[in-house]
């Protein structure tokens, strides 16, 4: 495995996965200092050879999906790696890479699919999270996967209803429909 890919995996997966959603103070700055250049290289297709193995594909997805959200939080650029992350995750799942990594690592592939504003990708992610349940061995894995299943169902409902995630509209410069306006009164946008 590429040493840089290994560094990404260690940095991201040696922490509590709740930090993926609720970043502790200083994490974004640390990520920018340590991995900002790699995120840019991943977005410029310079790390595409990483998809050749499970860990490399995983590291590439993490850079494009998770790290992009942290580094560009609060701007449209937070979603700038989504399309490529979804493509890499799709290829990884097609190759069975998600079955060759840990439960938490597999969930990173599925989260990248869930970020796509595509109903079929959302349904696929939801089904993949469900299929991950039998692999859970620890309480932490069970809790994480149960949360992911519930979240994915909510995402699928949004995609089915709106065809996109209304919580992204403001950052992406999209005009809300009336139905989206009503939805957003109860659902605050998540920055990551």
Q: Does position 148 have pLDDT exceeding 70, yes or no?
A: yes
User: Do 4 and 36 contact (CB within 8 A), yes or no?
Assistant: no
Pick the closest to residue 188 from 147, 171, 149, 174 (CA basis).
171
Q: How far is CA 68 from CA 76, 132, 139, 140, in A?
A: 10, 25, 29, 25
The CA distance from 73 to 68, in Å, is 8
What is the mean pLDDT of the segment spanning 58-73?
A: 94
Q: The pTM is what?
A: 0.92
Report the phi/psi class of residue 77: left, alpha or beta, with left for phi > 0 and alpha for psi in -120 to 50.
Answer: alpha
pLDDT of residue 191: 47
| Percentage with pLDDT > 70 across the chain | 97
Per the CB < 8 A criterion, the answer to whether 47 and 41 are in contact is yes
CA distance 137 to 93: 21
- Average pLDDT of the residues in 178-188: 87
Would you state the structure tokens that stand for residue 90, as one six-digit string? Answer: 């799709």
> Is residue 32 exposed (0-12), middle (13-18) or buried (19+ Cβ within 10 Å)?
middle
189 — pLDDT class (breaks 50, 70, 90): low
């Amino acid at each position: 495995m590429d040493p840089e890919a290994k560094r990404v995996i260690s940095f991201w997966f040696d922490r509590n996965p709740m930090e993926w959603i609720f970043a502790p103070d200083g994490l974004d700055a640390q990520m920018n200092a340590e991995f900002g250049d790699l995120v840019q290289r991943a977005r410029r297709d310079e790390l595409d050879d990483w998809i050749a193995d499970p860990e490399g594909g995983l590291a590439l997805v993490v850079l494009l999906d998770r790290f992009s959200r942290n580094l560009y939080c609060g701007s449209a650029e937070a979603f700038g790696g989504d399309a490529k992350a979804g493509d890499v995750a799709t290829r990884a799942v097609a190759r069975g890479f998600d079955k060759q990594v840990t439960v938490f690592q597999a969930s990173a592939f599925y989260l990248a699919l869930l970020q796509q504003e595509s109903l079929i990708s959302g349904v696929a992610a939801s089904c993949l999270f469900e299929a991950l349940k039998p692999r859970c061995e620890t309480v932490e894995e069970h809790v994480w996967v149960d949360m992911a299943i519930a979240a994915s169902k909510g995402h699928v409902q949004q995609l089915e209803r709106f065809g996109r995630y209304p919580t992204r509209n403001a950052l992406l410069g999209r005009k809300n429909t009336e139905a989206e306006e009503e939805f957003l009164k109860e659902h605050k946008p998540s920055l990551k």
